[in-house]
Structure 1
Amino acid sequence: MANLLLTLSLWLLAGSPLIQATYYRHHRYIPHYRYREHTANTENLLPDVSNPAPEVTQSGASTNHEIPEVFHPAPESVHPMPEVFHPVPEVVHPAPESYLPPQVLEPAAPVPPFTSRVFYGVMFDAGSTGTRIHIYKFIQKDPVELPVLDSEMYHAIKPGLSEYKYNPEEGGNTIRQLLKIAKKTIPEEDWKRTPVVLRATAGLRLLTDEQAEGILNEVREVFEESPFYVPSNSVSIMNGINEGVLAWVTVNFLTGHLYSNTRRTVGILDLGGGSTQITFLPKSKKTIETAPPSYTARFNLFNNTYELYTHSYLKNGLIAARLATLGALGADGLDWKVFTSPCLPKKYKAEVTFGGYTYKVSGIPDGYAGYKLCYYEVQRVIKGIFHQPYEVKGTNVFYAFSHYFDRANETGLISERGGTVEVRDFKKKAKEVCNKMTKYRPISPFLCMDMTYITCLLKEGFGFKDSTVLHLAKKVNNVETSWALGATFDFFRNFNIH
């Protein structure tokens, strides 16, 4: 049974004042797969998230990660879980001693039928632009079948925890707000056996160790005062490799590809605020052989070994890229400097806050603006940073989400339900937006810059062809497309859950 949830458990976390989105959807998703018993020496699985390796030093220099051939196996001594997760021990009656008189044994009482069990998991995604809480409800109807992911409650608030680097207590209050939603969603009798976990991403990676730890310690205190189950290492920073791999696990689980013996999977493109990830299962060995050592990851899942191409680019998320395009990211003199760009409307002036810093930005009143000038500026941010995988120009299918989805939806490329686009569609829409900034300014004054950056990122960064088709999705089967569900699977593998 411990191996049963090797596949299917995920829990999430998040928090703050400006509400971004809330939904509650029933998701009775039963995979096209019946459970097969794992071998006794299963060496699982996904990368260990407890000790993230920094992607970039404080000076900005890249550091390479050494990726183990096989990710850390589950520890021999598992962490204790609440009593409800452990089976009732079987009572075995000893045989009667030989000197006792014969006895007529009563017929054994019938074994009660297995009753379905409901359990929950809570995962907080502490990103650079906001904190999101994912509350998963699972139902196990049969002791030898995988549990069913019944539903997900999702809620997001702004800003992210990194904005509270000088006021960690206020950051902790945003987590309290989200825990109130968990208390309303989960029955009170299940609180003490429902784990809460928070994983922070690029927003906290960009802070100093002291600033990040101050925020994380505050979150730990909030968790401890809550009525939920708080496991060890419940609060930590996730490294970029795990972020890409776990998002890949989530999307391929929800699309049913992890249960197929064909090994047909989909790649993922995630564009956050502080970082961006690309992850896919190569069809050609040359992709792995020509990739830098830190750009691959191998792990076992569902009796299959996967070797993925995956990398996370810190400071290349959408919001960080805006500031890099403006020349503001990492600059000094923020109290008096004004950063300008032809990617912004000529009469636009504003103050932008990111990572706890405030930047003065504006368009160029007496200068030129438009797609060509904007593309030139954005290209300087991407050039020389990205590795282009050998087979990315091939037939791999990619799902793109987060800011890819948001910007495509805001410009009318897709509807709220998502859809498919070609890379050239981003380019065409970017030209339209940049040449009609006044029309699109009410949506966002950064829309020209963002669409141009996405176009340049896909073409110049990753090396996709104009004809490459991308599936844009915010949700699959009513579950958010993010690393959260995959992180829940990874979390539960460390426990002997029944």
Structure 2
Amino acid sequence: MARRLLYLWLLSLWALCWGGPAEAEQYDMDFPGVNSILPIVTRPANASRIFYGVMFDAGSTGTRIHVYTFIQKDRAELPVLDNEMFQSVKPGLSAYADMPERGGDTVRQLLKVAKRTVPRLEWKRTPVVLRATAGLRLLPEGKARSLLKQVHEVFEESPFFVPDNSVSIMDGTNEGILAWVTVNFLTGHLYSSSKKTVGTLDLGGGSTQITFLPKSKKTIEAAPADYIARFDMFNTTYQLYTHSYLGNGLKAARLATLGALGAEGLEWRVFTSSCLPKKFQEDWTFGGITYKVSGVEDGSAGFKPCYEEVLKVVKGIVHQPLELKGGSIFYAFSYYFDRAVDAGLIDGSEGGAVEVRDFKKRAKEVCNKKAKYRTVSPFLCMDMTYITCLLKEGFGFKENTVLQLTKKVNNVEASWALGATFDYFQKLNIR
């Protein structure tokens, strides 16, 4: 049934993009009762059954464009995601809080990718959507609104279809849920009869999300009420454990560790941390604000004092789901993947499976041999230690828990963007 409804949904999406003139031939539907769900679909006789979707991910550290190509190769087969074109620019929109026009220019540049990917004849019926995440959620409302207004104007001047609510800030809970939808769709779990799914861990710059399908009722009963979300997809109701921690993304955690989050007097203050190399001193910019940061030249250094610092950012803030002590399978991406590559834990092109203790072991090595890794990033010790602390002391994963670190699944970016594309067309009933 789930596979059948996925078929119907993609057909309805195809109909939205291909609804044709009166002389078009009627599209045959092979499932009984389908006409009670969908309108009669028509298409030009010689048309290729291809449709597109453009989704912008406006994150705290960069803006990314995903151009998805869906194709139906045969009337009797399920339409599939055929291709994704992906590109990104840095910094993120939030860095242009006081220069919204320049923020709009970054989106305008990325739209060129969509123009190159989507055939010209399809521009007018290809929807373009932008969803912003933690970077804009952390901005004052007025500045965030100005940026979104500028992006909407850029969309309106483009040749693409601009739907209602095409530009908005995504709720953190939706961000976690839609990343879970993406990964489980790409791994085949959403339309599998086995009912087995995988959990997802997303570590952005401003926020971090954890989402999984609980196996135990105790997990649901013990969780805060707003950590449980129910939604229907393809005739199946899912009850997920999901939460987004705003301010616990990798870059925001750096600020908190340094004691710089929300601090004043930035023009004269220097923020120090034992997680940084002793002789390191530099200006560091995040969210359009520049901070002076340095190591502690005469103080203690290494993994232990660094761990004590980042523990304050995690302890008592991150909830520990009961069943994470067990053997649940989790896919981890974004900065989990990037920092594992930087630290030499995994190959950047292949990804790989690592245990939580592998992060801890490599964090110790990076922190105790900062000079060796300084050329990679002076923040690598802090970042690896924070990831270790977040997984162990925050979420409560056991040291032998295996995480599948990935950037792409079946050659598609592991993020919420594909799930958000589905969300736009199907309007998930999240409650």
Q: Which stretch has the larger CA shift, 359-368 or 266-275?
A: 359-368
Q: Secondary structure at the match of 2:190?
A: helix
With over 3 angstroms needed to count, the CA separation of the structure-2 counterparts of 1:241 and 1:84, relative to structure 1, is: closer
What's the offset of the Cα at 1:346? 0.6
Equivalent-residue separation in structure 1 for 2:64 and 2:7 (angstroms): 34
Q: Which stretch has the larger CA shift, 211-220 or 258-267?
A: 258-267
Alignment match, 1:222? 154
TM-score in terms of structure 1 length: 0.78
Write the mapping of 1:75-154 to structure 2, written as runs, cut at 5 A: 84-86=17-19, 116-143=48-75, 145-154=77-86
> How many positions carry a matched residue from both structures?
408
Write the mapping of 1:4-403 to structure 2, written as runs, cut at 5 A: 33=3, 84-86=17-19, 116-143=48-75, 145-403=77-335
Q: Give the helix-richer structure, 1 or 2.
A: 2
Equivalent-residue separation in structure 1 for 2:85 and 2:262 (angstroms): 37
Equivalent-residue separation in structure 1 for 2:154 and 2:46 (angstroms): 37
Equivalent-residue separation in structure 2 for 1:224 and 1:157 (angstroms): 21
Alignment match, 1:475? 408
What's the offset of the Cα at 1:228? 0.7
Alignment match, 1:57? none
Query: Are the equivalent residues in 2 in contact too, given 1:82–1:193 (CA < 8 A)?
Result: no
Structure 2 residue 355 is the aligned partner of structure 1 residue 441: no
With over 3 angstroms needed to count, the CA separation of the structure-2 counterparts of 1:305 and 1:344, relative to structure 1, is: same
Query: Are the equivalent residues in 1 in contact too, given 2:178–2:420 (CA < 8 A)?
Result: yes
Alignment match, 1:489? 422
What's the offset of the Cα at 1:445? 0.1
What's the offset of the Cα at 1:190? 1.1
Equivalent-residue separation in structure 2 for 1:319 and 1:409 (angstroms): 17
Q: Secondary structure at the match of 1:400?
A: strand
Q: Which amino acid aligns with 2:164?
A: S
Query: Are the equivalent residues in 2 in contact too, given 1:35–1:144 (CA < 8 A)?
Result: no
Query: Are the equivalent residues in 1 in contact too, given 2:7–2:79 (CA < 8 A)?
Result: no
CA displacement 1:182-234 (0-9 Å, x = unmatched)? 11121111111111000000000000110100000000000000011111100
What's the offset of the Cα at 1:466? 0.4
What's the offset of the Cα at 1:356? 2.1
Query: Are the equivalent residues in 2 in contact too, given 1:423–1:455 (CA < 8 A)?
Result: yes
Equivalent-residue separation in structure 2 for 1:208 and 1:428 (angstroms): 39
What's the offset of the Cα at 1:368? 1.7
Alignment match, 2:31? none
What's the offset of the Cα at 1:236? 0.2
- Structure 1: unaligned runs, 5 residues or longer: 8-32, 43-77, 92-110
Query: Are the equivalent residues in 2 in contact too, given 1:34–1:145 (CA < 8 A)?
Result: no
Equivalent-residue separation in structure 2 for 1:414 and 1:81 (angstroms): 39
With over 3 angstroms needed to count, the CA separation of the structure-2 counterparts of 1:301 and 1:364, relative to structure 1, is: same
Equivalent-residue separation in structure 2 for 1:170 and 1:112 (angstroms): 41
Query: Are the equivalent residues in 2 in contact too, given 1:295–1:311 (CA < 8 A)?
Result: yes
Query: Are the equivalent residues in 2 in contact too, given 1:272–1:402 (CA < 8 A)?
Result: yes
What's the offset of the Cα at 1:142? 3.7
Alignment match, 1:425? 358
Q: Which amino acid aligns with 2:140?
A: T
Superposition RMSD in Å: 2.4
TM-score in terms of structure 2 length: 0.90
Equivalent-residue separation in structure 1 for 2:409 and 2:46 (angstroms): 31
- Structure with the greater relative contact order (CA < 8 A, sep ≥ 6): 1 or 2? 1
Equivalent-residue separation in structure 1 for 2:125 and 2:4 (angstroms): 27
Equivalent-residue separation in structure 1 for 2:17 and 2:7 (angstroms): 23
With over 3 angstroms needed to count, the CA separation of the structure-2 counterparts of 1:494 and 1:390, relative to structure 1, is: closer
- The structure with the larger Rg is 1
Identity %, equivalent residues: 70
What's the offset of the Cα at 1:355? 1.8
Q: Secondary structure at the match of 1:150?
A: strand
Equivalent-residue separation in structure 1 for 2:6 and 2:409 (angstroms): 25
Equivalent-residue separation in structure 1 for 2:413 and 2:78 (angstroms): 20
Equivalent-residue separation in structure 1 for 2:16 and 2:271 (angstroms): 57
Alignment match, 1:455? 388
Equivalent-residue separation in structure 2 for 1:137 and 1:175 (angstroms): 20
Q: Which amino acid aligns with 1:117?
A: R
Equivalent-residue separation in structure 1 for 2:192 and 2:386 (angstroms): 36
- Structure 2: unaligned runs, 5 residues or longer: 25-42
Q: Which amino acid aligns with 1:212?
A: A
Equivalent-residue separation in structure 2 for 1:90 and 1:394 (angstroms): 59
